[in-house]
Structure 1
Amino acid sequence: MSQLFSTLTIRETTFRNRLWVSPMCMYSAEDGVVNDWHHVHLAQFASGGAGLVMSEASAVSPEGRITPEDAGIWNDEQRDAWAGVIASVHARGALVGVQLAHAGRKASTWRPFANQDGSVPLDQGGWQTVAPSAIAFDGYAAPQELDEDGIAKVVADFRAAARRAVDAGFDVIEVHAAHGYLLHEFLSPLSNERADGWGGSLENRARLVLDVVRAVRAEVGEALPVFVRFSGTDSAPGGLEIDDVATVAQWALEAGADLFDVSSSGLVRHQRIEVGPGYQVPLAARVREVTGAPTAAVGIIDTGEEAEAVLAEGSADAVFAGREFLRDPHFALRAASELGEAPEGLWPPQYLRAHREWSKLRR
């Protein structure tokens, strides 16, 4: 058996394989409530063999949305809408996770296919954004610096969202601390210029991430896995580097996190990234080396062989794929075939006639 299609157990949760769907925003919710689009979109990946389907970044508060069309989990109506989607994914054999998120200074923007860029004006449905410091993301409206009460509200919002996520039936909770959103903004010296206990040293800048992880762990109990998504580097001078992130990951592990999903960048427009197949895998490998904790790698991993190599080399314990699942919702079935895995147990019986080796034997 390939490593990619072996099981993985974290706490009391066992994943049927290690090829997982990355959280990908659809910008298609109304007042934060998911709908038929999300139901079909996410359930297809379960039919396609994924071990974990991570739903999109879901805002823990209205002001935490990236766009007005983001999914949310700050009220019970949103929780209940997620429950039907989760049941559909479960019925197709996969586990499902939610990424709890707050967009910080990158909130209140137009969705990518709106043919507009920048911040949504207040008179067109936008809102005042918040951040660790009143430093705007280039081209966006200036955020308001969070005070102590505002920071406490962020932690409380993540905790309340985690409770709704558990009640909805999610199997995994992921804290979003990457891609230039609020928790990442606190972590990076490029966006955090505070002179109080939330800024300055790496330990101070990491306080909010760690407080959120502790709050989420306290709310979900000891059985459920808690992931954290980090940007392993800011890809910009003076920003976070991988050893900074590995240090924070070690602290997060002690605070109750179980696995680190390591992406990169997203904090500033002047970032410089060299993109290529598996380009972010070394970041996951370094976090795994420093912490000894499980990691998941992500970033242009488009074939079964590429994903298997990541695990075989010891760089990560699981692989997230995003765009490849959008191109082919049955990517996991294809990867299993590429690696010579038997179709039984992974392929839905309704699809077995399409498996080349199986159909040859049963003509």
Structure 2
Amino acid sequence: MLMNKNILLCVTGGIAVYKSVALVSKLVQAGASVKVIMTDSAKQFVQPLSFQVMSRNDVYDDTFDEKDSRVIAHIDLADWADLVLVAPATANVIAKMANGLADDMVTTTLLATTAPIWVAPAMNVHMYDHPAVKRNIEQLALDGVSFIEPSEGFLACGYVGKGRLEEPEKIVELVSAFFNEKTGLTQEARPLAGKKVVVTAGPTRERIDPVRYLSNFSSGKMGFAMAEAVAKLGADTILISGPVSEKVPENVHYIPVESAQDMLRAVENEFPTADWVIKSAAVADYRPAVVHSKKMKKQPGNAVLELERTTDILATLGERKTHQLLIGFAAETNDVETYAKEKLARKNADYILANDVSEEGSGFGTDTNRIHLFGKNNHYHEFPQMTKSALAMDIVRKIVELERERQ
């Protein structure tokens, strides 16, 4: 699965280091070439010899210990890696990474690499939930770092909660899917292969006259990211979008529309044969009751514009769905959980992806977002603020995982 792939494993100090030894073994068994860098704290739990035996490579722990005089070790490792894993990642190393510190071999190499960086946190449940740690994770996500979320269970400190390093088998599975996704080699890497997914995006424009319209601030960025994510995971993807300036992702069939009525017709045409529908468009709730054929001329005093309701597309699909998985978005400015749960039930959706558009970095037009996922049976999952592209992939993978569990 990982033949000819170079994995650089950065091991930091925590009791979960013992899992990293097993992780090296499983990566090597999958065909990867693995090199390990350890912090001084990590060596307090496991000796470098264990990693050397499992990886069949030298273990690095000192920036100034140059094992090969022909190269600078941390630069050579940074260039060698196809993927860098930090596992386990302590709160301390996450803080260093978020602030660009480079005071040991691990952090120096992390700054020097251009390879994708994945971080697998492991720490006490209260540490993981601390505002400073959350803030550092959010910053790294904005910097393009990906995270393998810790699992829940009994922790070494005696607490029960979220903070356990993900199991080595699962990490290897994720790494394999990452590389195979690039080449489209396996069904596991393309879990939506054979499925038709319809995504709506952007705003709608409701005409007042030939030169004016009602609309909103939606840029379409999140919807286009969702379309790109499902297409990469193998789906036959239909993207229906209002007027935006975003580039259409590869392998996506694009249907441009203007008004809410246009979008409704386009979705209705695709809905019977769809497997998933992701309604991320910011569809206008109201439109002018009268559309003037000529430009409305300015008159003295105020003007009154009568509005009528547009058709609620998500509710309409919820009434008609048979086999389709229906995923809606909720852009709120307050009481996010209350409104999202109410929308989930009222519109007969399977999942609602809600965000607070008044929160910095999570509103319309931004390159980042923070999403709260609400599903039936009181399922809830929070995604930290990150780029919309990375977030979309995490959301789709999470829903794939949840749907497998339901089957």
TM-score normalised to the size of structure 1? 0.30
Q: Which structure: greater strand fraction?
A: 2
- The answer to which structure has the higher helix fraction is 1
Higher relative CO (Cα under 8 Å, sequence separation at least 6) belongs to 1
Give the TM-score normalised by the residue count of structure 2. 0.28
Q: Which has the larger radius of gyration?
A: 2
